[in-house]
Amino acid sequence: MQTQKARKLLMIPGPIEFEPAVLAALAEPTPSHVAPDFIEVFGRALDNLRTVFQAPDGQPFVMAGSGTLAMEAAVANLLEPGDRVLQINTGYFSDRMAAICERSGALVTHVPAPAVGDAPGLAEVERALQQDRFTLMTITHVDTSTGVLTDVAGLAKLARAAGALSVVDGVCSVAGEALPMADWDVDVALTASQKALGAPPGLALVMARPRALEAFRRRTRPVASYYADWSNWLPVMQAYQARKPAYFGTPAVNLVLALDVSLAQIIAEGMEARVARHARLSEAIKAALTALGLSQVPLRPAVAAHTLSAPYFPDGVDGAALLGKINAAGVILAGGLHPALRTRYFRIGHMGAVNAADVLATVGAIEQGLHGVGYRFDAGSGLAASQRVMQGEAGHPPS
């Protein structure tokens, strides 16, 4: 067991640091998945997911698995061989979604970002939609490989106008970025427990709104994935929602207990306040990076996520050495992921339980790391920039 003195702050884009009350749920004696108390907890978690996804008319699905399973479940239930998919491509996870769609026999057209760190423009997407009849538009809300944020509201509207269903990979956005599913008329959104949703890894979560469920019911061929098939899960979710027992595959019982605790905390904070907190802390980190002379992968603030930051290593700095020094200073950050620039940048996750003290600790450790590798900068300038944002002197006023 690590001592408090030796503890390190985990600031990667998932898994994140979890609230003690969430972790405590993992230590509860595991109940039967059909025990009345557990049925109540699972039913409540499903109800609360509608609040967090802002989808009062949505059907939640909770399965044991990682975010990639949620991606697969979201599209496998809606695609039949030969269907066409338009993939809005902003990085590594967009590529993964395309590969998943192809596994279901779909033909994928990519609308690539004009450059790494950018997102395709709406006009270009509109043109692409006119070229074919698409079943789905798949959108990565925040691509965790680039830190690029897409305009889900605008894209979902275009999908709707073209008669395509919109599927949003919200693994790095749900409960961190604004994603009011019903207001934006998004058909399917998905996430995983270990990111902004704030529960340990192991749950795949999908929210499907009525148009997607109708399309699922109209399909003529069986879903290519047996485990992810909504025919198996829909009766189970509906049963728990009605506080009745059901079984298809054993739920990850303790993770559902943990999810229930986290969802209650998220709802107590309020979705607007939560999104505003993520925006403010993100701005504080990004202001520090700029003050320290580090440029970022997202090319403009309008396409920069608020759940993570993706700074380039300064010229002449050995990235692995820098991350090692930052770690030695007490903060764990992540390396690059996008294949085109993997070794040139790093990633800082700031979602879920993150607070102002975490931001200062992280910026302080980055300064120590930069100093340790011989990079020249004004000591304390990153911290000062963060403080100015958090004290409301720059950018968003504190809410």
**Residue at shortest CB range from ligand PLP:** 67
- Least distance CB 185 / ligand PLP (angstroms): 21
- Least distance CB 204 / ligand PLP (angstroms): 8
Q: Return the SS3 of 169.
A: strand
Q: Would you say 199 or 291 has its CB closer to ligand PLP?
A: 199
Q: Would you say 94 or 362 has its CB closer to ligand PLP?
A: 94
Q: Are 282 and 185 in contact (CB under 8 A)?
A: no
Torsion of CA 32, 174, 344, 112, to 10 degrees: 120
Give the binding range for ligand PLP (CB under 6 A) out of 156-164, 168-176, 297-305, 356-364. 168-176
- Least distance CB 203 / ligand PLP (angstroms): 9
- Least distance CB 323 / ligand PLP (angstroms): 19
Q: To which H or E segment does residue 12 belong? A: none
Q: Would you say 202 or 251 has its CB closer to ligand PLP?
A: 202
**Around Cβ 377, how many Cβ atoms within 10 Å?**
15
- Least distance CB 94 / ligand PLP (angstroms): 9
Residue 225 makes contact with ligand PLP by CB under 6 A: no
288, 269, 311, 273: which is closest to 395 by C-alpha?
Answer: 288
Residue 15 makes contact with ligand PLP by CB under 6 A: no
Produce one character per residue of 24-61: b if its CB has 16 or more CB atoms within 10 Å, e if not.
Answer: ebbeeeebebeeeebbebbbbbbebbbebbbbeebbbb
275: number of CA atoms within 13 Å, CB side? Answer: 13
Q: Would you say 192 or 348 has its CB closer to ligand PLP?
A: 192
Residue 289 CA to residue 147 CA, distance in Å, equals 14
Q: Return the SS3 of 60.
A: strand
- Least distance CB 268 / ligand PLP (angstroms): 25
One character per residue 56-95, x = contact with ligand PLP (rule: CB under 6 A): ----------xxx------------------------x--
Evaluate the omega torsion of the peptide bond into residue 15 and state whether it is cis, within 30 degrees of 0.
Answer: yes
State both tokens at 207.
């929210």
- Least distance CB 384 / ligand PLP (angstroms): 31
CA torsion sign for 275, 97, 65, 44 is: positive
Instruction: Note the helical H segments in 270-348.
Output: 271-291, 319-328
One character per residue 180-199, x = contact with ligand PLP (rule: CB under 6 A): ------------x-------
Residue 169 makes contact with ligand PLP by CB under 6 A: yes
Q: Would you say 68 or 254 has its CB closer to ligand PLP?
A: 68
Residue 146 makes contact with ligand PLP by CB under 6 A: no
Residue 140 makes contact with ligand PLP by CB under 6 A: yes
Q: Which residues bind ligand PLP (CB under 6 A)?
A: 14, 66-68, 93, 140, 142-144, 169, 171-172, 192
